[in-house]
Amino acid sequence: MSIKVVIVGGVAAGASAAARLRRMDENAQIVMFEKGEYISYANCGLPYYVGDVIQKRNKLLVQTPKAMNRRFNIDVRVMSEVTRINAAEKKIEVKNTVSGETYEETYDKLVLCPGASPRIPDIPGINSSNVFLVRNVPDSDMIKEFISAEHPQNAVVVGAGYIGMEMAEMLMHAGMEVTVVEASSQILAPFDPEMAAIVARYLRKKGVKLKLNSTVASLEGSKRVEQALLSDGSSIPAGLVVLGMGVSPATGLAVEAGLAIGDRGAILVNEYLQTSDPDIYAAGDAIQVKDFITGQSLYLPLAGPANRQGWLVANNICGRQVRYSGAQGTSIVKILDMTAAATGKTEKYLKAQGIDYRAVHTHPASSATYYPGSTEMTIKLLFTPDEGKVLGAQIVGYDKVDKRMDVLATAIRAGMNVFDLQELELAYAPPFSSAKDPVNMTAYVAGNVVSGMMDVVSWADVPGRVAAGSFLLDVRTEAECQAGMADGAVNISVDDIRKRLDDLPRDQEILAYCRVGLRSYITCRILKQNGFNVRNISGGYLSYPDYQ
Ligand code: FAD
């Protein structure tokens, strides 16, 4: 007898599970319920549709119910919300969201892919007609219609995560003055503060106003919102408001059905993505998964993991057992001309968890510096102190950031250490890279730390060390220093160091920096071999917090 699989949710994880199920079992009865009008749409493309970068709406609609039925023989029911699970009788209750009619459907296996719900603050004015979410196609239709009818001059984006940043760019494209309000002290939570600060400086230069450490207390206006009142008492004009405050897993159905919920507040699944009921699987933004690096639980609402999980559930239902090995959080965002990408753990996470690590920052060129169009990027690499095993990486730059990030993300999957990264033979010709690719280059710096050739310290720790008596040494040229140097630093150029050893303290720790960290590394080697206690400041002056 053929198996009957019912899927709740018809976008990333749900549609992926459905298509794979059919490819594996031609006889299965597959029913996919979607409460909205569209299935398998490109929600990641929605901001670009709002900003007219994607001009044709139907490009967002990857599959239609009709096409999916024709190709995969899947019974797709849109405008159909699953409202209850009766796990004991293996039945669900479905409500037609147009007619209001309800009915029951049985299943042999149930797959929950309901995604996540956007966080909406409970503040006055939140239900006004010019306050928008960016979750689905109708949301983006409404924003577009409002912009073309009302031509708002200014916009407030609440939340400086990926969607908030993408929307800020798109609203700028549409000609608005944009203010981003963010509750925490930095934009882009998946990054460490000094990396996010590079993007923040760039955004401010481009005219985006950033209000950090701020929340919106109320949205005010006569017929609709005209201004946002912030927690600090200030107000900003708001012809349009977009919420990008993150999401919470859609667990309602699962909770009501008595399925186990994990410590991250999402549906708990085992390594085969089975819930606490073995006949119910779950995938995507609704579940919590294992952190590939630490083994701890992780909530990671991203499209890549959701698609893989959907695929994997289909395999497991069809008897081809595949374990989910966990997620590491590889992500990327385009912000105007800049790209910011991250994978694995951040320094702030490692510190908070008490996990021992080392970090280096480099500023390599995207391609050979003599080839037109080469730009500088900043790479931060986190690794274990003893073996140099890669724990995480962040890159911010203008060009070819994605390819370096994908190498580093792959390195984490492969369990590589910084010495393995040194050995990677990566594609090189001047338009694409340097003979030592930025990944190799960063790995050489990290390797020096692991092998004890150089001790590093980050700028965040410098003020404390200087207060405790460390000597701050700038080894750039006098001309470079005249353009700006760190507070309290003494300038001795790297080329004069050997002659001026007597000017340096032997009873104090010396913290050396140059522009990017190479000349200060050379300085460290000279001083170390002359018996000084010296550390290189990671990332050099380009990573100095006040560097503009
Ligand atoms: P979804 O794709 O959200 O699908 C869940 C579906 O289930 C929804 O359509 C919902 O209507 C339906 N549903 C819920 N409850 C029920 C019910 N009871 N009955 C019937 N149907 C139900 N990720 C990236 O990795 N990169 C990006 O660039 C990126 N950009 C994004 C941009 C935007 C604007 C958004 C909104 C998300 C973005 N994401 C991105 C996140 C990514 O889209 C999600 O991680 C992914 O779609 C999750 O897949 P899912 O199947 O779990 O949930």
**Could you read off the pLDDT of 398-435 as tens digits, one per residue?**
999 999 999 999 999 999 999 999 999 999 999 999 99
CA–centroid distance, 42 to ligand 1, in Å, is: 9
Question: How far apart are alpha carbons 169 and 164 in whole angstroms?
Answer: 9
What pLDDT score was predicted for residue 545?
80
Told to judge if 318 belongs to the known catalytic residues of this protein, a careful annotator would answer no
What pLDDT score was predicted for residue 547?
58
DSSP H stretches of helix in 206-250: none
Cβ(81) – ligand 1 distance below 6 Å: yes
Burial 509-522 (b: 16+ CB within 10 A, else e): bbbbbbbbbbbbbb
User: Hey, is 51 helix, strand or coil?
Assistant: coil
Cβ(396) – ligand 1 distance below 6 Å: no
Cβ(284) – ligand 1 distance below 6 Å: yes
Helix, strand, coil proportions of the chain in percent (round to 5)? 30, 25, 45
CB burial of residue 451 (10 Å; 0-12, 13-18, 19+): exposed
Point out the ligand 1 atom lying closest to the alpha carbon of residue 135: 36
User: Phi and psi (nearest 5°) for 219?
Assistant: -115, 125
Find out whether 259 and 89 touch, Cβ atoms under 8 Å.
Answer: no
Q: Pick out the chain residues at pLDDT < 70.
A: 546-548
What pLDDT score was predicted for residue 1?
78
| Those residues with Cβ within 8 angstroms of residue 219's Cβ, 6 or more apart along the chain or in another chain | 123, 124, 125, 126, 128, 131, 225, 227, 228, 229, 238, 241
What pLDDT score was predicted for residue 337?
97
Q: Ligand 1 atom 36: the closest Cα is on which residue? A: 135
CA–centroid distance, 245 to ligand 1, in Å, is: 15
What pLDDT score was predicted for residue 115?
98
CA–centroid distance, 260 to ligand 1, in Å, is: 21
Cβ(8) – ligand 1 distance below 6 Å: yes
Q: What is the pTM of this model?
A: 0.96
pLDDT digits (tens, 9 = 90+) for 345-400: 999 999 999 999 999 999 999 999 999 999 999 999 999 999 999 999 999 999 99
